[in-house]
Amino acid sequence: MTGGAGFVGSHLCEALLDRGDKVVIVDSFEDFYAASIKRANIASALQRGARLVELDIREGRLLARVLAAESPDVVVHLAARAGVRPSLENPQLYVSINVEGTLSLLEACRQAGAGRLVFGSSSSVYGTNSRVPFQEDDPVQTPASPYGATKAAGELLCHTYAHLHGLQVACLRFFTVYGPRQRPDMAIHKFARLLAERRPVPLFGEGTARDYTYVSDIVQGVLGAIDRPRPFAVYNLGDSKVVELGRMVALLAEALGVEAEVERLPRQPGDVPTTFADISRARRDLDYSPGVPFERGIRLFADWFLSSRGAAHVPG
């Protein structure tokens, strides 16, 4: 699994170990956020028998050697430079890691004879698509950020290798994943810190809404893709419900036991007004059935946030 020390990857590692699978984590611990957080994410998995290979996915020859030595039944590709807004500041780095890195992995799969890949894509590929809910066959030629463009490019490369080399690929478009261990730059985690410090929460754009998906539901979808291979397929993994940004902040503040102060600001470049997943294809093919409603999930996140931070930091 590439990117296995990250937010989604570490949860997936534990789910795979729970059912008795062998797990090899490939991660470079690149500096988008602190490596110490990622190492803590996988500490339990390593104690339970997962193996760690510290390697940048752009090192194709070394990656091919790892795959040849391990002979995996399936490669799960979650390594990426994440974040919509940061991609506007350094698009070259996003192309290098997300596009060139994905191509490097695909080539390594071909050279090592690995026959199956699950690719972690993103709802960001839909960009400025105004048709909701988003369906997998909708055009993805209008990404609103370099990050979204790199994920769309990754899907195209996956299709090319499926077509040319018979690689079985599932591209999974994740919709705003949240829960314990969420990356510190993501909105819910960032807003929780601001609320805990009694600072205003910036809300960019009126009427912005997201399809928030609890991490255990995403993991369920990834496991479904692992267990139900197709020659090539694209799936939305979301909750298929939309929560407005203001309501998200209100529910988060309530779960943390604080009052929310918000600051209304204009929508930022790269942002899209709404994300909303049609998950009928994933329900049919992957037996995907999200089971954590946002009201419960945000409380679970808040419980983790308070326990990891110490309840004394957030007065009730």
Annotated active-site positions, please? 147
Vertex 212: Cα angle to 206 and 214 (nearest 5):
160
Asked if 106 contacts 145 with a C-beta cutoff of 8 angstroms, the reply is no
> Which one, of 176, 179, 174, lies nearest residue 255 by Cα?
179
Written as six digits, the tokens of 34 are 């602190």
**Rounded alpha-carbon distances, angstroms, from residue 124 to 140, 210, 242, 260:** 9, 11, 15, 28
Number of C-alpha atoms within 13 angstroms, CB side, residue 131?
10
**Residues near 20 by beta carbon (within 8 Å), at least 6 away in sequence:** none
The total of other beta-carbon atoms located within 10 Å of residue 300's CB is 17
> Across-strand partners of 210?
243
Asked if 209 and 245 touch (Cβ cutoff 8 Å), the reply is yes
Buried b (16+ CB within 10 A) or exposed e, 234-257: bbbbbbbbbbebbebbebbbebbe
Both tokens of 256, joined, read 């943390």
